[in-house]
Amino acid sequence: MTNTHEWTKDELIRCLKDAGIRNGTILNVRASLKSIGRIKGGADTFLKAILDVIGPEGTLIVNSFINCYPIPLSETDAKNISTEVSPSYAGALANAILKHPDCVRSKHPIQKFAAVGKLAHELMDNHTPDSDGYAVFERLGHMGALKLCIGREAIEMAGVGNTHAAIKVLGFFKKKPNRGVNYLAEDGTVKLFKVNWNGGCSRGFPKFHPLYEKAGALKHVRIGEAEAVLSDMKRTLEIDCEKLKADPSFFFCDDPTCKDCRLNWEHSTGNYLTVKFHSLISIIKSKIVTHAYTIN
C-alpha cells in the first residue's frame, strides 16, 4: 500500500516537541527531508514548524555549504563566485532557510552556515574567510546547542556528534586538498579562497555513537516517518575530545584504501604503497564481480 499521508505543520511541531526541542533552543539541523515522508507545503512547512517551536528566543542553524573546485580554477569554475546568496548543495532545508527574510549567512566562502533567530548575527557574522570552516560547531558546543539529524543518511553520513569541532580544538593537522573557490570579498573585489580547515573523513565518525549513547548525550526520536537523533553538542564535543586525546586515530575509517585517513593526517600511520596495493585489489575485485555478472 502506498503511504499517502501528508505531514502538516502542526503534526511536525508535535514531533519536534516530543523529541525535546523547546522554546529558546539553539538548534543545528541536518536533514534528509524525503525520509520524513510527504510534507504538506514541502521544506518551507518544515522550516516554519521548527521556527514556531524554538520561537524568537531560539536560533536555527543549518549547514548551507557550497562547492569548491581544483586549483588552478578552470575557466568555468572561476565563474562560480561564492556570495551570500550562492545556492547550497546541502539539500531542501538549506535552500529553504536561505529564502527566509531573516536569514543570516556566514561569510566563510565555502563552509557557509545559515541561521535564523536570536543569535543568528552573533554566530554568522564572526564566521569569515579567516575562520576555520567548522568554527561554528565549536561555538555551538560551548553554547549548549542541540543537533538534530533526520533520516538514516544524515545519521550515518557524518556522525551525529561534534567531531569536526573536536579535530579543530585538538589541533590535528592534515595535508589540505588543493581546492578553493572565487568569492566576493567585503571590499567588493573577487578573491581566490583556498580550503583552510582540517575536514575529517566522515565515514569514521559513527564510531563515536556508542560512546554518546553510553553517556546519555543523544536520544533516538522520530520526525514524521524518519528515524532521527537529537544530541547535546556540548556533551558530544567533550566525549569526542576525551576519546581523541587518548586515541587520536579513533576517527579514522577502517577502509584500507582511504587515502584521507591512511595518509593525509600528520598522525596517519599508513604508507602510500599499502594504500595503492589495497586500491588495486579492490579494483580487481570489482572487475571480477562485473565480469561474473556479465557472463551470467
- Decide if residue 253 touches Zn ion (CB under 5 A): yes
**Cβ 254 to Zn ion shortest distance, Å:** 8
Where b means 16+ CB within 10 Å and e means fewer, 118-135 reads bbbeebbeebebebbbbb
Q: Which is nearer to Zn ion, 183 or 208 (CB)?
A: 208
Which three cell numbers mark 245? 586525546
Which three cell numbers mark 119? 543569535
Stretch of 7-15, 24-32, 215-223, 256-264 contacting Zn ion, by CB under 5 A:
256-264
**Cβ 120 to Zn ion shortest distance, Å:** 33
Nearest of 252, 256, 254, 253 to residue 282 by alpha carbon: 256
Among 39, 66, 261, 275, binds Zn ion (CB under 5 A): 261
Q: Where does residue 280 rank: exposed (0-12), middle (13-18), buried (19+ CB within 10 A)?
A: exposed
- Decide if residue 275 touches Zn ion (CB under 5 A): no
- Decide if residue 167 touches Zn ion (CB under 5 A): no
Among 54, 201, 229, 239, binds Zn ion (CB under 5 A): 201
**Cβ 90 to Zn ion shortest distance, Å:** 21
Among 39, 66, 258, 275, binds Zn ion (CB under 5 A): 258
DSSP state string for 154-221: HHHHS-SS-HHHHHHHTT--BPPPSEEEEEE-TTS-EEEEE--S----GGGGGGGHHHHHHHT-EEEE
Q: Which is nearer to Zn ion, 33 or 201 (CB)?
A: 201
**Cβ 202 to Zn ion shortest distance, Å:** 8
Binding site for Zn ion (CB under 5 A): 201, 253, 258, 260-261
